[in-house]
Structure 1
Amino acid sequence: MTVTRLDPDAIRVLRELEDDRSSVRLRAALAVGTTPDPRFVGKLIERCAVEPEFFVRDMLTWALTRHPVSVALPAVVREVRSERAQARSQALHTLSKIGDPQAWPAISWALLSDADDEVARSAWRAAVVLVPEGEKSALAGALARQLGRGGRQTQLSLSRALVELGEVIEPSLRAATTAPDPRVRAHALATGRLLREPDTGFESAIEEAKRVVALGGSGQEG
């Protein structure tokens, strides 16, 4: 992007996107989204990779969704391959908000199993939004291979993603209940309960599942 080709107002907004004050950056992102201009897409993506404030990042994503898919989508898809974890995570979050199925091929196994929990969580959320109907079983299997991973928030995110896929996840969950790792078994049982009883809280579901596993049960109805 060549700043000298932009009008003074555009140059000012670009500078404000990098201001030290988060309130100024937020206002600038809102301005870009209110009056979309394809020349800003590159800067919005660049800021997503480094912006420290959650609310500003979310406004940057909103601004990207306000631009034509033909302009924003290819640029965001490229960003999921960034070496910077925040760039990958925010790009995936943006893909889930754009919601265009053309982005599905960008959701790779590498992203679904990314070593960074925030990237993986964003990939799970994006995957369940973008997955074609015929790919849901394969995605369920891929997500089930992450069962038992991380702390409560990471596990909750994975359970929510799996439940979003619906009954197609049941074979993968059944297989996971026989896994050698008790964390995997408990997480699978808790996710199954959330699928059957959506009003159940994750905390109670996981604690009950851990008790079942500790007692040597599978929790599966015969």
Structure 2
Amino acid sequence: MPTVTPSDWSDIGERLARLAAEAGAGEIFGSSSHRWWLEPPLSAAELDEVEGQLGVELPGEYRSFLLGAGSGGAGPAYGLFPVRRVEGRWRWEGDGAELTDLATLARPFPHVEAFNPADGLPDPPDEDDYDSLDAFNAAEDAYWERHDQVVFRPEHSLGLLYLCHLGCAQREVLVVSGPARGQMWADDTADDGGFRPLADDDGTPLGFARWYRQWLDNAEARLSRGLPA
């Protein structure tokens, strides 16, 4: 297969079409949702409008994907959240896409290393420490209310564009602003795992292009071996 640059997506349509025609392609995780199909790319004028509304330029690899491959659809897990114009405003749509605060994408995500907003919180209440079930339930409700106030503060996701849902409220995001701009991160807050950068086997942080192509390479490899997953 010829070498392609991170901004060259000319091979993607053909590769997705081949995958869609393969026996077993429907067994690849998430394919029943995206069906190996990409929505049409954005025009340069549409992308300018998106970025104008956001007040920030999107990272180059993702930007080139929107222009040269598609505006959403086939991709890791259940697919890439598509960006669409709804009543004159551009937004991403999908299970968890609403976690992107479009008004703050231009504000820097400050982290370069994994962090967990739940660190430092006390352990949940233990029922054995309470004299009655009502007292325990009240303490548990208060604990989880406080937990969610800390863990799900909007400021934790400044500058993050949610692109993909893995299931069970696990999602992957693109850092749009800040020192990790252009990197893909995991949001594991639903399991109290916090946020972490995604990395290649050698520890190199994954940008959008490598993240997307890893998924595509893996799907092709598994189908060629008769091992859909």
- With the length of structure 2 as denominator, give the TM-score of the two structures: 0.23
Q: Decide which structure has greater helix share.
A: 1
Q: Decide which structure has greater strand share.
A: 2
Bigger relative contact order, structure 1 or 2 (CA pairs below 8 A, ≥6 apart): 2
- With the length of structure 1 as denominator, give the TM-score of the two structures: 0.24
